[in-house]
């Protein structure tokens, strides 16, 4: 089976992290975002993954070669030289997708959840029509495009973009499965799949909705990245609790890479991810944070709701909070207060940031 992952471009919403590393390779809970999806696809029987990118990255290519070897699958890169919207990339990869009769997956690369690929396949084969969309229930549907469908069969009636009045609380979760025949509907030009393709398919009775069970998050921006992290760790607690770190000094769900070093009298958690080679000195308190590979947090610092980038150095007695994001190799001097700062890579911070702002 095949899968097409819509990776897109520069990942600007996840800057400053994406200034150093292409978004698919940013580690989410200690594993590149893309790998969460690819590994789940492989488990469901996918043997060929196509990455639709609009920005070609050498780093990404090299990493994908390595993963091909490791997972024993084929990974192709489909590079759109001009913007093709959300449907166009499928047309671009037409050759690769139509060399078999089997249905193929399409995923939005920012999505994290308990990937239901096997269920999707079953559901899709069961109704036998051209397309299945995974939907998920959200609290504030008016921020998204909602899907209106028949509860028993899943047959989709229509889509409503950002409804002002409550119509439905199910939104498009960014995961689809299609029969190759649906590709005839898409031309190689900038096309919106939600606005131009889906409504027609729904009209013809060829589009069905499968409701996702469990958590779902679009982790394309830092605030949601952290929320998604909390959800994922909670899911780990249920399905693979042995992967979480417990014991004195660890509260709630905490994921720690085996090569990380943690000092004395620290209190870590709840909802913390500590990456490879990270050093936490004595007396550190971290809550609801991701600390990426190689970072060094000095003694007595206090961190909450923040992302510490690769190889950063956070000084002693620093207080950092309110979705502060430190890009790669940022140095924060001792005793500072960092509130909601967005810090670009290789910066040195020597003054407190008492109110949220961007530091270039």
Q: Which of residues 260-279 bind another protein (CB under 8 A)?
A: 265
Question: Whose Cβ is closer to another protein: residue 9's or residue 354's?
Answer: 354
* CA atoms of 360 and 347, how far apart (whole Å): 7
Question: Whose Cβ is closer to another protein: residue 204's or residue 282's?
Answer: 282
* CA atoms of 30 and 313, how far apart (whole Å): 19
Is 347 considered catalytic here? no
Least Å distance, CB 317 to another protein, is 4
Cross-strand bridge partners of residue 259:
none
Least Å distance, CB 298 to another protein, is 11
The reply to whether 354 sits near another protein by the rule CB under 8 A is yes
Least Å distance, CB 215 to another protein, is 27
The reply to whether 10 sits near another protein by the rule CB under 8 A is no
- 145, 199, 277, 283: which one binds another protein (CB under 8 A): 283
Exposed e or buried b for every residue in 256-269, given b needs 16+ CB within 10 A? Answer: bbeebebeeebebb
23 burial level (CB within 10 Å; 0-12, 13-18, 19+): buried
Site map (CB under 8 A) of another protein, residues 290-319, x = contact: ---------xx-x-x-----------xx-x
Contact 339, 357 (CB under 8 A): no
Question: Whose Cβ is closer to another protein: residue 23's or residue 287's?
Answer: 287
Least Å distance, CB 299 to another protein, is 6
Contact 96, 2 (CB under 8 A): yes
Least Å distance, CB 283 to another protein, is 4
* CA atoms of 347 and 328, how far apart (whole Å): 9
Q: Name the DSSP letter for residue 149.
A: E
Q: Which of residues 193-232 bind another protein (CB under 8 A)?
A: none
- The residue assigned the tokens 């590149």 is 32
Task: Please provide the distance, in angstroms rounded to a whole number, between the alpha carbons at the two ends of the chain.
Answer: 45
Q: Which of residues 84-123 bind another protein (CB under 8 A)?
A: none
Which of 2, 162, 287, 347 is catalytic? The answer is: 162
Contact 87, 194 (CB under 8 A): no
- The residue assigned the tokens 């009045």 is 165
Question: Whose Cβ is closer to another protein: residue 145's or residue 263's?
Answer: 263
Question: Whose Cβ is closer to another protein: residue 156's or residue 303's?
Answer: 303
* CA atoms of 230 and 236, how far apart (whole Å): 10
Query: Given the rule CB under 8 A, which residues bind another protein?
Result: 265, 282-283, 285, 299-300, 302, 304, 316-317, 319, 321, 335, 337, 354
Active site residues: 162
């Amino acid at each position: 089976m095949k899968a097409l992952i819509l990776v897109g471009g520069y990942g600007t919403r996840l800057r400053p992290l994406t200034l150093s590393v292409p978004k698919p390779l940013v580690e989410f809970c200690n594993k590149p975002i893309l790998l969460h999806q690819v590994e789940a696809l492989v488990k469901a029987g996918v043997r060929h993954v196509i990455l639709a990118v609009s920005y070609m990255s050498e780093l990404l290519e090299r990493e994908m070669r390595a993963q091909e070897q490791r997972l024993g699958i084929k990974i192709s890169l489909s590079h759109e030289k001009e913007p093709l919207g959300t449907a166009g990339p499928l047309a671009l990869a037409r050759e690769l997708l139509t060399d078999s009769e089997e249905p193929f997956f399409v995923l939005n690369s920012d999505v994290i959840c308990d990937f239901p690929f096997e269920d999707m396949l079953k559901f899709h084969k069961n109704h036998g029509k051209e397309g299945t969309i995974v939907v998920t229930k959200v609290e504030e549907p008016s921020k998204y495009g909602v899907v209106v469908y028949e509860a028993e069969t899943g047959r989709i009636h229509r889509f409503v973009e950002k409804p002002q009045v409550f119509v439905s609380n199910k939104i498009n979760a960014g995961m689809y499965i299609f029969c190759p025949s649906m590709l005839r509907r898409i031309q190689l030009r900038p096309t919106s799949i939600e606005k131009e393709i889906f409504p027609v398919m729904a009209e013809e009775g060829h589009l069905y909705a499968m409701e996702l069970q469990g958590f779902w998050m679009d982790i394309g921006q830092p605030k949601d990245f952290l929320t998604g992290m909390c959800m994922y760790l909670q899911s780990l607690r249920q399905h693979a609790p042995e992967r979480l770190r417990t014991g004195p000094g660890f509260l709630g769900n905490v994921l720690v890479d085996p090569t990380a070093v943690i000092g004395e009298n620290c209190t870590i958690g709840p909802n913390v991810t500590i990456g490879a080679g990270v050093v936490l000195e004595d007396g550190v308190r971290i809550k609801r944070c991701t600390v990426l590979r190689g970072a060094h947090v000095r003694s007595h610092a206090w961190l909450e709701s923040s992302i510490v980038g690769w190889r950063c150095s956070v000084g002693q007695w620093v207080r950092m909070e309110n979705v502060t994001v430190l890009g790669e190799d940022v140095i924060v001097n001792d005793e500072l207060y960092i509130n909601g700062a967005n810090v670009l890579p290789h910066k040195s911070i020597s003054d407190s940031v008492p109110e949220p702002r961007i530091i270039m």
